[in-house]
Structure formats: structure tokens, C-alpha cells
């Protein structure tokens, strides 16, 4: 069955009408073979404005619904996702090019955030604070924030929406989602599943979850509208540099999840077999198109030759091909532009003295229009400008070090600060890496790779990664506003700080 035929069958099963992806102006292609999957209609400026107004009206109703009741809607959404995990997971593979297990894993992540959010719906609590004034009590309360805009990228076409939507809706906020122009069909599928859950819930307000489909102009309108209280944007650092200031100019909130240039340090005490497994998955999983993909390997000089040899052997045996086929571990790049960017990066690395292993295009039978490549290992003598730049492709730059402090300095000497890892069994070295003098990233792991974050641990990073945190223990606070309340239960009116103002 062709990707087009499979996609249509899946969308019909999920309840997406043909009109939602036929005869529109936005073409959608499968990275598997480059074939057309559909043509999605973009929303006009008037339609975007109408949907934002509808979301604002939904907020005025939804904010007064008790949080545990709001959690019930997300519980029902989790049930719908569980029931259609295989269907939606395969659709992710068709539209984003992920291997089947990763497509299914992404849907499982959606289920997990729904479970997490349901639990949080009974824990959106503030503090009681001791007052210096007799007969007074202070406390903080948390209230729904307002309309939440979500801008997501192609590489996690459904999970990122769910991270935001599950928590936002539990917190009392409607959600407007602008998916990547490269992956709008999975967004249509998610919206259909949400509508199933809302129908079972029976009294969710119209406009609680809506899609905004289109290109840059649609995103700009969402970012600039003062009725959108929070913009959660996942994508490139370039995108974040535009979104952040525009939202700040109108005093809105932004939650930015941007680029990563993630490194693994391998110390002399490391278990090399474990390190190879962790590095290979983190470097080539999703064809190197995760924001947490390992892009730099900083290895002790005593191990460098052996580890590179082991990695080259592992890379040589990687099954590359159609992501729908069982056993495939490396699927396609998303499009020709990504392939071209990878080849430019490899040429730059060669010009800077690097030795490149792999990186060439791979022919896959029946997938002539797809962009398949052999993951590349590039041995570098220094951390050059090319190494410091994030290329969204399976390129692993290898650097050597002699002293751990030198390795940590190399690790931190890039603009991004998302994920990091160290392999080693010397407690002093691994603890140094986790300390304030170690990794400067938002995620720091020991004896596992940089990819594979779990729900419950805050996801995000520092510097050009944007500073946002999603899906963690206190991530719900992004979607709420805090009020400080002071209650006087006495018959006196003492003032704070000993101020006297007798009338």
C-alpha cells in the first residue's frame, strides 16, 4: 500500500473528513518516498481571528469549571489515545518519517502526559504563608491564565502539542495549535481524537481546542494577538529569536523550546559497551532529527581510537530504510532541504580538517523520492564553527580530551544548552558533571544518552535553547497566574513593617 493510501485509510478511521486534507493550498508530502499525502487548506487572517475570539469565549467558561472536572476531559483524551495508539503511531511514521517504534513511542508519551495531567488536576495548590501581622493569614492561589498558543515542529508532530494541551486544559486554558506546515495531518488526527473525548465529556465549551493551519503569517498572527496569554513555541533558535521579543513587546508570556547541540563525555572509567549503545541511539534515532540528538562526542584520548572503531562498526550495521518496515532503525530525513543542510555541514567539517565517515545518500528500494542517508561520524581536532552550529541531521562530531575540566569547558562552549550526558563509573567525575561546575544544560544524564526524556522530568534548556520547561513536576505553573491573598480575621488593622497610619 502506498503512503497516500495508508494515510487516507488512517485518517478516515480517526474521523478526519476528506475535505480537511483535499484541495487545499498547503501540500503535504511523506518523507518516506516524497509522495503527496494531501493538500490542507490554510486559514485566512479572518479565520485565525475568529478562532482566537472563540478560544477567548471558551476561556471565560472553562476557567470556572473545577480542576478535577477539567481533568476528567483529559482522562477521556488519554483513553482515546490508548485506543488509537497503533493508528496514530503509524500516521506519525507516514508523515514525519519516524520508525514504527518511535511513532508508537510518541503516542505513548501523549498517553503518559494525560495520566500525569489528570493527577495534577487535584494538586494545583499554593502555599499558606505566615504573616507578621496578628490576626492575619497569607496564602497564594493559582488561577487559569488564558488562551494558550502552541507552535510545534515536525520532528515531534503530536507529543509536543500534548505536553502543552493536557496541562493547559487541566489548568483552565483553551489551546490554539499551529502545527508545522510539514506535519498538519497528524494534527488533524489529534483534533479529531480530542473532539471524540469532548463529545463523551458532554459539556466542554466550543473552541476549547482548535487548529490554526498555514505558514508564517498564521504563526505571526497567533504570536502578536494580545488575547493569547501564553505562546509555547518549539523550533529553531532563529524562530525563538523572533517569537520571544514579539510576545514580550505586548507583555505576554512565552515558553520556548529551541535548538540543542548536545554532547556526551566518555571518561576512562566508562563501560564502552553501554556507551556505544547509548550514543548510537541518541545520535541516529529519528535520523538525528531530535532536539536532544547527540551531536558531539567528547572522549578521553586513551579511549578515542577504540570507541570510534566500535561506533563505526555499529554504524555500518544500521538498517536504513522505509520506517514502516520492521527492523528499520534509521528512516529518512524530512525533506531535500535537510539533506542539503547535512551535506553542507559535512563539507564545512572537511574544510576545517575533519575526517568524515559515512554521510552519503542511501538508495532505498521503492522509496526513490525519500532522503535517506548513512549517519556520519566526523573526527575533529578542534571544536570549530561547524561543530558549534546545530545541524538537524545524523552527524556525530568526535573530539578528544585529556582532563575532565577541559572536557566540561568544551561541552559548555556552544550557544545551546539543552541535553547532556557523561559515561563513567568514577563517582567524583560523574558528580562533578552534575554539579554547578559541570554541565550547563537543562538535562544532564549519567550512563545513558542525551535522548529519551520521560514525562515528569522538566524538559528544556538554557542559553539559546530558550529557557522553557515542559512536562515536569511544576510545569503546570506556566499555564496559570498566581495571586497573593491576605486575610484579616481580626478587628484590628495593623500595617506591615510597623508602619503607623492612625486616622
Residues labelled catalytic? 257, 291
- Residue pointed to by grid coordinates 506519525: 92
Euclidean distance between CA atoms 228 and 61, whole angstroms: 16
CA 244 to CA 463: how far, in whole Å?
Answer: 13
229 closest CA partner among 482, 484, 479: 479
Question: Cell 472536572, residue?
Answer: 69
| Whole-number Å distance between alpha carbons of 117 and 108 | 14
C-alpha 429, offset from chain centre: 30
Q: Where are the alpha helices (DSSP H) in 354-494?
A: 385-388, 404-412, 427-434
Cell 529569536, located at residue: 241
**Sign of the four-CA dihedral 20, 23, 28, 29:** positive
For 253, the enclosing helix (H) or strand (E) is strand 253-257
Helices (H), 202-316: 216-224, 237-249, 272-284, 301-316
Give CA torsion, residues 180, 185, 189, 194, to 10 deg: 30
Whether 211 and 246 have beta carbons less than 8 Å apart is answered as no
3-class DSSP assignment, residue 231:
strand
Q: How many CB atoms lie within 10 A of CB 22?
A: 12
**How would you label 197-231 residue by residue, b for 16+ Cβ within 10 Å and e otherwise?**
bbeebeebbebbbbbbbbeeebbebbbebeebbbb
Confirm if 209 and 194 have CB atoms less than 8 A apart: yes
The pair phi, psi for residue 5, each rounded to 5°, is -65, -45
Closest by CA to 372, choosing from 427, 400, 335, 417, is: 335
User: Three cell numbers at 252?
Assistant: 505576554
Per-residue cell: 315 = 554504524
Strand 136-144 to 128-129 pairing: antiparallel
Amino acid at each position: 500500500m502506498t503512503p497516500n493510501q495508508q494515510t487516507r485509510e488512517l485518517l478516515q478511521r480517526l474521523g478526519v473528513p476528506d475535505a480537511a486534507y483535499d484541495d487545499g493550498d498547503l501540500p503535504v508530502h511523506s518523507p518516506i518516498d516524497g509522495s503527496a499525502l494531501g493538500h490542507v487548506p490554510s486559514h485566512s487572517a479572518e479565520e485565525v481571528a475568529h478562532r482566537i475570539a472563540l478560544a477567548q469565549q471558551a476561556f471565560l467558561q472553562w476557567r470556572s469549571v473545577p480542576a478535577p472536572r477539567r481533568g476528567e476531559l483529559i482522562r477521556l483524551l488519554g483513553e482515546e489515545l490508548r485506543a488509537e495508539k497503533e493508528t496514530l503511531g503509524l500516521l506519525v511514521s507516514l508523515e514525519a518519517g519516524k520508525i514504527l517504534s518511535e511513532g508508537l513511542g510518541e503516542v505513548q508519551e501523549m498517553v503518559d502526559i494525560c495520566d500525569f495531567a489528570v493527577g495534577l488536576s487535584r494538586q494545583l495548590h499554593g502555599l499558606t504563608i505566615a504573616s507578621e501581622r496578628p490576626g492575619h493569614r497569607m496564602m497564594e492561589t493559582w488561577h487559569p491564565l488564558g488562551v494558550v498558543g502552541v507552535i510545534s515542529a515536525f520532528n515531534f508532530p503530536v507529543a509536543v502539542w500534548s505536553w502543552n494541551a493536557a496541562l493547559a486544559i487541566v489548568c483552565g486554558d483553551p489551546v490554539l495549535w499551529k502545527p508545522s506546515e510539514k506535519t498538519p495531518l497528524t494534527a488533524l488526527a489529534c483534533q479529531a481524537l480530542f473532539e471524540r473525548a469532548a463529545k463523551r465529556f458532554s459539556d466542554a465549551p466550543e473552541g476549547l481546542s482548535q487548529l490554526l493551519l498555514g505558514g508564517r503569517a498564521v504563526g505571526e498572527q497567533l504570536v502578536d494577538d494580545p488575547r493569547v496569554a501564553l505562546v509555547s513555541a518549539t523550533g529553531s533558535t532563529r524562530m525563538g529569536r523572533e517569537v520571544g521579543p514579539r510576545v514580550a513587546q505586548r507583555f505576554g508570556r512565552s515558553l520556548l523550546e529551541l535548538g540543542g547541540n548536545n554532547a556526551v563525555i566518555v571518561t576512562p572509567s566508562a563501560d564502552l559497551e553501554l556507551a556505544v549503545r547509548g550514543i548510537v541511539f541518541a545520535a541516529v534515532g529519528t535520523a538525528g532529527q531530535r532536539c536532544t540528538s547527540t551531536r558531539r562526542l567528547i572522549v578521553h584520548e586513551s579511549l578515542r581510537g577504540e570507541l570510534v572503531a566500535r561506533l563505526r562498526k555499529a554504524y555500518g550495521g544500521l538498517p536504513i530504510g522505509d520506517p514502516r518496515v520492521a527492523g528499520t532503525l534509521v528512516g529518512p530525513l524530512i525533506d531535500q532541504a535537510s539533506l542539503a543542510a547535512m551535506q553542507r555541514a559535512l563539507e564545512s567539517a572537511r574544510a576545517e580538517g575533519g575526517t568524515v565517515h559515512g554521510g552519503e545518500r542511501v538508495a532505498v528500494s521503492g522509496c526513490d523520492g525519500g532522503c535517506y542517508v548513512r549517519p556520519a561520524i566526523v573526527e575533529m581536532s578542534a571544536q570549530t564553527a561547524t561543530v558549534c552550529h546545530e545541524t538537524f541531521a545524523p552527524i556525530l562530531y568526535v573530539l578528544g580530551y585529556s582532563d575532565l575540566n577541559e572536557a566540561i569547558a568544551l561541552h559548555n562552549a556552544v550557544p545551546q544548552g539543552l541535553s547532556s550526558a557523561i559515561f563513567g563509573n568514577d563517582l567524583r567525575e560523574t558528580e562533578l558533571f552534575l554539579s554547578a561546575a559541570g554541565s550547563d544544560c537543562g538535562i544532564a544524564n549519567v550512563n545513558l544518552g542525551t535522548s529519551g526524556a520521560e514525562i515528569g522530568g522538566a524538559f528544556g534548556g538554557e542559553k539559546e535553547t530558550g529557557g522553557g520547561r515542559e512536562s515536569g513536576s511544576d510545569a503546570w505553573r506556566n499555564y496559570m497566574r498566581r495571586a497573593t491573598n491576605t486575610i484579616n480575621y481580626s478587628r484590628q488593622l495593623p500595617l506591615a513593617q510597623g508602619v503607623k497610619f492612625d486616622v
